[in-house]
Amino acid sequence: MHYLYVLIHRRTKRLYIGFSTNLKQRVGSHQKRDADWQLAYYEAYASEAEARQRERDLKQYGSAWGHLKKRIQRSLDLKWAGEASN
């Protein structure tokens, strides 16, 4: 399998988008450098090309990233700096 993943930094709430063929190992390598990274979201693909295209789409097209960011935010009940409470 090929994975597109999104990590969230627990202290800063910063999000990171990445791609890997071994999700557990890749998340572990991020956490080895900084234990505050945690997996927030992932998508699994049979095709490497599809997973890499999705990663590119999220990194290049603000609307796709914005929609996913909102889903993650609602799912984890997060508030980013400067955002008003609903």
What confidence tens digit (pLDDT) does each residue in 33-65 have?
A: 999 999 999 999 999 999 999 999 998 878 888
- 7-21, 34-48, 70-84: which range is least confident on average? 70-84
With respect to residue 18, please indicate whether it lies within any of the assigned structural domains: yes
How far is the C-alpha of 19 from the C-alpha of 22, rounded, in Å? 9
| pTM for the model | 0.81
Phi, psi dihedral angles at 18 (to 5 degrees): -150, 175
pLDDT (0 to 100) of residue 46: 97
pLDDT at 83 over 60: no
For 64-70, what is the mean pLDDT?
A: 85
Beta bridge partners of 8: 15, 38
How far is the C-alpha of 57 from the C-alpha of 61, rounded, in Å? 6
- Contact between residue 41 and residue 68 where contact means Cβ atoms under 8 Å apart: yes
With respect to residue 32, please indicate whether it lies within any of the assigned structural domains: yes
Report which of 3, 4, 8, 1 is spatially closest to residue 72, judged by C-alpha positions: 8
For 73-82, what is the mean pLDDT?
A: 68
Q: Which domain holds residue 50?
A: 2-76
The number of domains in the chain is 1
